[in-house]
Amino acid sequence: MLLRTSASLVLKGLARSPNTTARWFSGTTSRSLTSSMSFSTTTTSPGVVQQQQQKIGSLPRFRQRAEAVEDGGEDGNVTRYEQELLTSYLSAGTIEAAEKIMEDMEAKSTPPKAASYNSLIKLWLAQNRFDKAEEVLRRMKSVGRRPNPSSFHFLLTGCVRMGVNEDHFKDIMEDCRSARISPAKLAALSQPFAVRKQMSSKEVDPFVAIKMPPPKAASHQTNPDEQLSAYQKQLAWETRAIERAVEEYRSDVRSLTQMGKAAELKPSKVLLVKWFQPLSQMIEDQQKLFHQRILALDPKNDSTIRSSFDPDAASRLLSEADRFGPYLLLLPADKIAVLTIHETLGLLLTQPDGVHLTAVAMAVGEAVMNEVNYELLRSISPKSSLPSTSQPSYALRRRLESIEEAEDWCKAMVVQLGAMLVAYFKMTATVSVSLVSNRPSSSILSLLTEPSSLPSSSSSSSETESLGENEKREATEEEKTAESVVQREVPALEHLIKKEKNQKTMGMLRCNVHAFRMISNGHNLRELINPRMLPMLVPPRPWKSPREGGYLTISVPLMRTRGCRKQKDILKTGDLTQIYESLNFLGSVPWKINEFTYNVVNTAWSSGGGYTYLPTWENLKLPDPPEDFIQNPEGRRKWRHESSKIQQKNLELHSLRCDARLKLEVAESCLHEDRVYFPHNLDFRGRSYPVPPHLNHLGSDLSRGLLMFADPKPLGPRGLFWLKVHLANLFGKNKIPFEQRVQFVDEHLEEVADSALFPLDGKKWWYEAEDQWQALATCKEIYEALRLPDPSLYETRLPVHMDGSCNGLQHYAALGGDIEGGTSVNLVPSDRPQDVYSSVVDVVTKLIAADVAKDHPMAKRPQGKVIRKTIKQTVMTNVYGVTYIGARDQIANALKDQKVLEEDEIFPASAYIAKITFAAMQQMFTGARHIMTWLSDCATLVSRKGEVVTWTTPLGLPVCQPYRQPRRHVVSTLLQKVTIIEEDDKLPVSTRKQRSAFPPNYVHSLDSTHMFMTSNKCSARGIVYAAVHDSYWTHPCSVDEMNVALREAFVDLHSQPLLHQLLAQLQQDHPEIDFPPVPPRGDLDISLVLQSPYFFQ
């Protein structure tokens, strides 16, 4: 009863809902256990003891022995290499190879460590082979390895999970008693320290301790929010998020003091509650100290009187190292503790290899700053409560308006405060591990008691090359013996120094491996999501000023200004009426979670993943060691290098798993809502973005497949046609006429129906699409429509996309009146869509052939291997200012995916192809190149005068390029010195960045203007409309009408003399500068866009 078994831990950690839990118990338990074991396998880097051994080994008197070791000339070192090899096989789950190594070691009377036998027991149990696991235990005793508490713990939990008969159960318990292992030691392996320290062997019944608790009866727990209106619920989410978390932690602390209730909490939750109380207490103690110091320096500035307390004045009285202190007094200690825990874990759980300390400190500091600003808002009206009406009261509106007065703190202060809180968290957060009481000086004890000395697993290979895999595995497994096992508290957070590729050293923060496994396996990531950043349940507050709009109570700026004060100032002077109208229209579009897609995604994820954006739960297997591993030093080094690469990929897989879980958590929180909304704001170029970051229609294919419009509309006479076009586009068939795209779908209607009916058990035709999850959702809609006698009556919520044809080049061709360029990007009517990427490939192919004829040394390798996919991203980003290095990396990634070159050939080939692609673009788009050069020259002239480039878009939005020469400032914190980059309008202007960024930024401001103009036209027509930059979305029945609106908007935009207007603005702002004339315009008739069917397609 007091002991949670391994099986229950895994099941509770992976089950995300009652449905998912039921699925696990319906027959896939063994597979899930195997996946979980593989998923949670991480490698701990070598500790300080091994580093000292390296130093000793470098001394002259040890060199001769070290050379002998490398030759495999000493039996002891041969055994060490065998143990390393065995550990690698066990980590990879290769049982047969592992058992062969173990037999060889046992034959030499040098049996493996007890931890190796325990790992083999776990592997057999994961395959439901209890008999084999028992055999390992007997074999362990026969070779003189005394089973330890973990050995029996694994067998007992496996016994319960697999329903082994009671006789086996009693036999194992009898063996356990014979080994003099008390029930309390078994219980200590699973129960958290807060409960464990209160237990004795007399209080624990050995037969009860290991039994799984009976399943609770399914019951629907009523959420108090369900009784509120949507408006009240939204307001509660925003205003009570942190308070509810604090109350929950306090309640859990009380539960931990009661033995009967402690077992009801998940181990991961117990661990968090265990960290909360000491962290809150330490923060409170520091608050008292700062309060006393400030009163001693300035008796009138009393922090207990919040209305008159001036933290800025108090900060100036303190030393530089303590200036963050007054800001610590602005919130209660328990609220700061919750913010610190959630922000820190929110970053560390997605990056098991560690996160830059600066990033963690900044995130924690900003979280506290934002909460303080919100508290300032609430302090204006202390009697605030949830309004009973569905609209804000006058008093509430007044409080909302006051949010504009809240200013951000300086970056140095934010980092200092955040780093201090992270340091407190590191000091107080511990995790309990099992250690051997009679070996206090062992290497593993040193490793655990000095975690800050651990190098990163991604450090340079020279630092870890000579260390065996067995020395990097979980420490406690290696050191548990049959003698006395004691519990030791070690830090849950590790601060380490990592050397980057550029040889710079960076401070990193990461979770201790024990804490990481416990939390990541059992913690609901949604608990770490700031509820204020979820989609809204009611339409966003209309934008009325640069700081008034979006969420009901949360301050969200209209523009993400990147710290540019000038940009903030000029926003207040511009006429933003049309911008406000468009953002309000985009934010008012109601969305809904697509339950069909969600159920398929959830099922695929629960069954182990392995789909696009749903990575498999199983880590990649390590490469097989060479057969002459022990005698071949070079082979060992190569194998370790390959293993390190696989381990890095497994870390990346973990990050992808966290991202998938996060999206599913947000989708689940909105699953039963009738409608959700995405408030929008702008970047500094004028492009719009949804504010909620985790799940929105600007996200990946998975995010888009999970979303649909909330309001259905009948397909009408043309809706089914556009649904089929949309599906063909998702399969990459967007280079053929519309009729052929429809024909493609008609030829696969059987596969469409199979995808809709049997998405995971059928032919999986939908998975052949380029955007699989959106394709699956579209298959479902087409199938449902065709089931009706009249498909035009089918009501669908699915959005259909119309995408621009290399939109940046479309704007350049329109600006320059370039007929040839405009034709290649579909500004001119044609019978079939023009593919600019294929045109560039043709030119690149000719240039490569010419170089081959000239015996160019690099031309032969990529000849015949450059396809559309190879250069697509480079062509797309060329007009947005991609650099040569950026283009080379893009092409290298494409070549890796194509798998047409050897790994050592990819880098030189990508460098050559990048140069050839730039040359091809120069030949094809001369008009665009002339305009880009003119824009760059104008930016150079302005920046040389010490000014940043500013302009106003055709809709009246002022834009300011924020690029200045960075000034680094070193801030001392409790953990380390942190270097931050200051953002200040007093810094010198960066001429290089102003020049290179002006052409792409100007074009981005034009494509955002086109999107806003289309938005306003759709709003006037009553069309539901959403946009992802140059991809415009609407219901299938409205596509034709939206197509007219977006073409009219483009013609209206480019019928203006945009470059001449820009020149006039620059001349007005800088009359002392002699700007070059605007490049001459070609003869392209922009009105032809109105008749071009493939302009957006």
Cα first-last separation, the chain? 62
Q: What single letter denotes the amino acid at residue 253?
A: V
Neighbours of 1055 (CB within 10 A): 11
Q: Residue 560 CA to chain centroid, in angstroms?
A: 20
DSSP state of 227: G
Where do we find the tokens 């600006």?
Answer: 815
Q: What are phi and psi of 858, to 5 degrees?
A: -100, -10
- Quick check: is 872 catalytic? yes
Question: What whole-number distance in Å separates Cα of residue 481 and Cα of residue 84?
Answer: 20
Residue 466 C-beta-side C-alpha neighbours within 13 Å: 15
3 state DSSP class of 956 = coil
Where do we find the tokens 């074009």?
Answer: 1003
Say which of 353, 835, 1007, 1030 is annotated catalytic.
1030
Checking DSSP bridges between strand 430-436 and strand 485-491, what pairing results, if any? antiparallel
Where do we find the tokens 């069917």?
Answer: 1093
* Tokens read off for 465: 């090359």
Q: What Rg, from alpha-carbon coordinates, does the chain have? A: 32
Inter-residue long-range contacts of 237-242, CB under 8 Å, 24+ positions, other chains counted? 237/531, 237/532, 237/534, 237/537, 238/531, 238/532, 238/551, 238/552, 238/553, 238/554, 239/378, 239/384, 239/386, 239/553, 241/530, 241/531, 241/532, 242/335, 242/338, 242/339, 242/371
- Quick check: is 75 catalytic? no
Say which of 592, 724, 872, 1017 is annotated catalytic.
872
Cα–Cα distances in angstroms (integers) from residue 522 to residues 99, 154, 603, in the given order: 32, 19, 19
CA angle 898, 903, 905 (to 5 degrees): 95
Q: Which of 511, 517, 498 is nearest to 356 (CA)?
A: 498
Question: What whole-number distance in Å separates Cα of residue 559 and Cα of residue 567?
Answer: 9
Pure H helices in 670-761 = 701-705, 716-730, 738-746, 749-757
* Tokens read off for 17: 């809902």
Question: What whole-number distance in Å separates Cα of residue 1023 and Cα of residue 1037?
Answer: 10
- Quick check: is 869 catalytic? no
Say which of 225, 803, 937, 985 is annotated catalytic.
803
CA angle 879, 880, 882 (to 5 degrees): 95
Question: What whole-number distance in Å separates Cα of residue 940 and Cα of residue 291?
Answer: 52
Q: Which of 41, 51, 42 is nearest to 467 (CA)?
A: 51
Q: Residue 329 CA to chain centroid, in angstroms?
A: 32
DSSP H or E segment with residue 681: strand 680-683
- Active-site residues, by number, are 803, 872, 1030
